[in-house]
A and B are shown apart, each in its own frame.
Chain A
């Protein structure tokens, strides 16, 4: 798992004090620690990498504008992510992208994978999922990386941002709920559907090897 935070970032109040005082090295460290995650998060809402980079730049400029008023009611990172999400959503709307708010329901695994009522073991696997090669060995291959990235990119935006923040960036559930301003239950549903879908795509990938 990638480390979500640059190790050794000082506590928020120190960071904020240094930013207010114009400490450029501090700002550079924050940029390097958080911009990757912010870019990935922005991509859930906008149509291109270039657009995501614009959103991240606008976010950091908004952080500079707002840092004097930051009161520490949330963590600094949560506050930065909330600015990012709002900026990205606004940009996404301008690009004509819509984010459906209704949650998708229904099974996350194709019901045809399980035996029906007339079969010997209703609700049980027809045939077991196949054993995969080690993803550790395979993920080195750029082909699999690109495949996983495209599987994430194909998710609905809300699932995409949650699985990105949880599993790609490695933030914990509580932080993600705060950053996205969603409930714990909602976060879990979105993560569940997203992981199930990406697993399904990986299953297709490995069955085609």
Chain B
């Protein structure tokens, strides 16, 4: 497997979506190519960096407005 092919299969590999034969060739290439090993590590690092972005939340006023709307919502069973 060439490196330029390897880099296009990284996501399918991480998603467990390569067929067994392709996965064998992918892993074989990975063990013999430091550049592609590095590339895969960088993709994993990218995913981890994304997973550590700070949480977002509604402003307090928006949250309060929604809770008030919920409270005042017309309900048969209320």
* Chain A contact residues, CB within 8 Å of chain B: 1-2, 20-22, 24, 27-28, 31-32, 35-36, 39-40, 53, 56-57, 60-61, 64, 107-109, 111, 114, 122-125, 127-132, 134-136, 138-139, 144-145, 148-149, 152, 163, 167-168, 170, 173, 188, 191-192, 195-196, 198-199, 202-203
Q: Are A191 and B11 in contact (CB under 8 A)?
A: yes
Nearest residue, chain B, Cβ from A25: B67
Knowing A22-B73, A24-B71, A125-B3 are in contact, say whether A35-B50 is a contact too (CB < 8 A): no
Task: Tell me the count of chain B residues lying within 8 A, CB to CB, of chain A.
Answer: 47
With contact pairs A124-B3, A128-B34 given, residues A35 and B42 touching in the complex (Cβ less than 8 Å): no
User: In the assembly, what is the distance between CA of A135 and CA of B71, in Å?
Assistant: 44
In the complex, A32→B57 CA distance in Å?
A: 7
**For the complex, what is the distance from the CA of A107 to the CA of B7, rounded to whole Å?**
9
Residues of A within 8 A of B38 (CB): 128-131
Contact status of A39 and B56, CB under 8 A, knowing A131-B38, A195-B11: yes
A135 to B41, CA, bound (A): 11
What are 20 contact pairs spanning A and B, CB under 8 A?
A2-B51, A21-B77, A22-B77, A24-B70, A32-B63, A35-B57, A39-B58, A64-B70, A107-B8, A108-B8, A123-B2, A124-B3, A124-B35, A129-B39, A129-B42, A139-B49, A148-B49, A188-B17, A195-B11, A202-B46
